């Protein structure tokens, strides 16, 4: 009897936990059910992946989609559309919206807003504050919650946990991993006059200097040691922080962004002006090299885009009135595949950073690997395809990218979610049917 499937991906090189395998993968009811030669089988849809590498679906664990409250910059529909165009199958969205995502009702509202509009799978951070900390053990269990997010320093929005007492309170309630933006607020306030008096975006990494980040990270290390709570340090930017964290990996996981791994001061500010402005800042070359050292040493666990779009008009305001942040969800994979092409990391390492490690660290059910029984989420890439990133390719409402004009080697050719093609060869395949991700509820999820 002929085997039948909903989807067969044929002739591709599968990036499996056991290594690269040249074979087929069969899908039924949104799950991987066969990894073998399926040339004699039938399917409702067949994708010929000859010449392509089939990755487990890539997950971007830090995006700001601005809804509710900032929909002129981005919303859940446009942000997830950008994601799938860039080969991303799932996103973790941040809580510094308006209103803030600090209650069960606010997070449930985001889930409702995403229903029927989100192109990819999704989950949302609960914002951690001194006020909601006592309820955090219950709040972090709300369906669709991926974890807790804390801002130690002011950035975009009103979430802020600036002092150690409040941060200790957040860390002391609940068990989910706490994602942290680590900049020292007192030092930011003390040094803000540097930015105000200069009026020059080149002073952004001078105002928000190395010590601002290092001081906050030292404080965080002390508090996670006291409380035993696991933390996820977002967008690390300094070589010194990476050296510090390397001795505390039992409690702290680390994110790096494509921007900080690719751009460097002062050149990026010369070329892009305030369009290169983000928090923490793009720093000089020695720090970029420090991040790559941490990548090679295994200190970095995850690549997240910190997708944080603003309109062109907003970014063109005189510094420091220009807002910090840049889009990145659509360019995360192309930029990192270009680094693979250049020999800076292997494809296997990239798969771990964008698929296996996010699933392991955050306890995502059914994601992160190509294996029978797992969700049929795939990102198909052409490692040889060369293409220029252009602003007219960007699906984000902001309509620009800091990487516009860069010629990239390595490109996402198809995005498959739950066994259904969502993007193929640069074209969306509707309708939008992304679903909330599910998470293990145990204190220590597998891995």
Residue range 403-423: mean pLDDT, rounded: 98
Task: Specify the pTM.
Answer: 0.97
Distance CA 278, CA 298 (A): 25
pLDDT of 446 above 70: no
Q: How much of the chain is in helix, strand and coil states, percent to nearest 5?
A: 30, 25, 40
Distance CA 333, CA 331 (A): 6
pLDDT of 206 above 60: yes
- Measured in residues, the chain has a length of 447
Give just the sign of the alpha carbon dihedral 135, 140, 142, 145: positive
- pLDDT given at position 443: 52
Average pLDDT, the chain: 96
Distance CA 280, CA 208 (A): 7
Which residues make up the CATH 2.30.40.10 domain(s) of the chain? 4-54+371-428
Give the whole-number percent of the chain exceeding pLDDT 70: 98
Residue 391 — very low, low, confident or very high, per pLDDT cuts 50/70/90? Answer: very high
pLDDT of 447 above 50: no
Q: Is 306 designated active site?
A: yes
Beta strands in 297-391 (DSSP E): 302-303, 378-388
Distance CA 290, CA 253 (A): 17
Query: Which among 89, 13, 47, 96 is positioned nearest to 308, based on CA atoms?
Result: 96
Distance CA 20, CA 381 (A): 14
Distance CA 326, CA 64 (A): 10
3-state secondary structure of 398: coil
Residue range 200-212: mean pLDDT, rounded: 98
pLDDT of 366 above 90: yes
Residue range 83-103: mean pLDDT, rounded: 97
Tell me which of 6, 60, 306, 352 is the catalytic residue.
Answer: 306
CB burial readout 7-27, b (16+ within 10 A) else e? bbbbbbbbbbeeeebebbbbb
Pick the CATH number of 4-54+371-428 from 3.30.1540.10, 2.30.40.10, 3.40.1000.10, 3.90.1150.10: 2.30.40.10
pLDDT of 155 above 90: no
Residue range 414-433: mean pLDDT, rounded: 96
Residue 195 — very low, low, confident or very high, per pLDDT cuts 50/70/90? Answer: very high
pLDDT of 442 above 70: no
Give, as one character, the DSSP assignment of residue 224: H
**pLDDT tens digits, one per residue of 6-21:** 999 999 999 999 999 9
- pLDDT given at position 159: 78
Query: Which among 199, 196, 208, 335 is positioned nearest to 274, based on CA atoms?
Result: 199
Distance CA 199, CA 321 (A): 9
**pLDDT tens digits, one per residue of 317-337:** 999 999 999 999 999 999 999
- pLDDT given at position 1: 75
Distance CA 259, CA 291 (A): 11
Which residues make up the CATH 3.20.20.140 domain(s) of the chain? 60-362
Burial category of 142 from C-beta neighbours within 10 Å (exposed 0-12, middle 13-18, buried 19 and up)? middle
Contacts of 396 (CB under 8 A, 6+ apart): 74, 78, 79, 82, 307, 309, 327, 329, 330
Give, as one character, the DSSP assignment of residue 416: E
Residue 210 — very low, low, confident or very high, per pLDDT cuts 50/70/90? Answer: very high
What is the SS3 string spanning 239-260? HHHHHHHCCCCCCEEEEECHHH
Residue 48 — very low, low, confident or very high, per pLDDT cuts 50/70/90? Answer: very high
**pLDDT tens digits, one per residue of 270-290:** 999 999 999 999 999 999 999
Contacts of 193 (CB under 8 A, 6+ apart): none
pLDDT of 445 above 60: no
Q: Please check whether residue 282 is in contact with residue 276, taking contact to mean a CB–CB distance below 8 angstroms.
A: yes
Which CATH number applies to 60-362?
Answer: 3.20.20.140
pLDDT of 394 above 60: yes
β-pairing, 121-127 vs 145-151, is parallel
3-state secondary structure of 187: helix
Phi, psi angle pair for 376, to nearest 5°: -85, 65
Distance CA 197, CA 372 (A): 59
DSSP sequence for 271-304: HHGGGG--SSPP-BHHHHHHHHHHHHHT---EE-
């Amino acid at each position: 009897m002929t085997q039948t499937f909903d989807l067969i991906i044929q002739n591709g090189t599968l990036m499996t936990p056991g290594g690269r395998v040249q074979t087929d993968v069969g899908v039924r009811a949104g799950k991987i059910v066969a990894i073998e030669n399926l040339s004699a089988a039938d399917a409702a849809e067949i994708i010929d992946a000859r010449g392509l590498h089939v990755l487990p679906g890539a997950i971007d664990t830090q995006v700001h989609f601005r809804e509710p409250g900032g929909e002129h910059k981005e919303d859940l529909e446009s942000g997830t559309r950008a994601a799938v165009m860039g080969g991303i199958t799932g996103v973790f969205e941040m809580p510094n919206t308006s209103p803030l995502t600090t209650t069960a009702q606010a997070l449930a509202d985001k889930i409702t807003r995403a229903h029927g509009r989100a192109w990819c799978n999704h989950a949302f951070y609960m914002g951690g504050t001194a006020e909601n900390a006592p309820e955090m053990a219950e709040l972090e269990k709300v369906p669709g919650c991926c974890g807790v997010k804390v801002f130690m320093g002011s950035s975009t929005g009103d979430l802020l946990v600036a002092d150690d007492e409040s941060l200790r309170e957040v860390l002391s309630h609940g068990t989910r991993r706490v994602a942290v933006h680590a900049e020292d607020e007192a030092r930011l306030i003390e040094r803000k006059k540097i930015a105000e008096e200069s009026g020059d975006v080149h002073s952004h990494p001078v105002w928000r200097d190395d010590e601002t980040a290092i001081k906050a990270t030292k404080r965080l290390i002390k508090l996670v040691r006291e409380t035993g709570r696991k933390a996820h340090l977002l967008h690390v930017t300094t070589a010194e922080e990476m050296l510090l964290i390397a001795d505390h990996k039992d409690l702290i996981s680390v994110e790096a962004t494509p921007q900080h791994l690719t751009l460097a001061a002062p050149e990026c500010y010369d070329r892009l002006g305030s369009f290169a402005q983000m928090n923490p800042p793009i720093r000089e070359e020695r720090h970029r090299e420090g991040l790559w050292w941490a990548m090679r040493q295994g200190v970095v666990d995850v690549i997240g885009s910190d997708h944080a779009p603003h309109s062109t008009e907003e970014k063109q305001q005189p510094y420091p009135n220009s807002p910090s942040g840049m889009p990145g969800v659509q360019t995360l994979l192309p930029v990192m595949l270009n680094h693979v092409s250049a020999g800076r990391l292997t494809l296997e390492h990239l798969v771990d950073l964008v698929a296996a490690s996010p699933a392991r660290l955050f306890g995502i059910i059914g994601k992160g690997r190509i294996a029978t029984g797992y969700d049929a989420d795939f990102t198909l890439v052409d490692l040889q395809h060369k293409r220029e990133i252009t602003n007219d390719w960007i699906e984000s409402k902001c309509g620009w990218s800091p990487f516009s004009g860069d010629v990239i080697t390595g490109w996402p050719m198809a995005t498959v979610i739950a066994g259904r093609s969502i993007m193929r060869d640069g074209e969306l395949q509707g309708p939008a049917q992304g679903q909330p991700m599910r998470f293990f509820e145990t204190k220590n999820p597998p891995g």
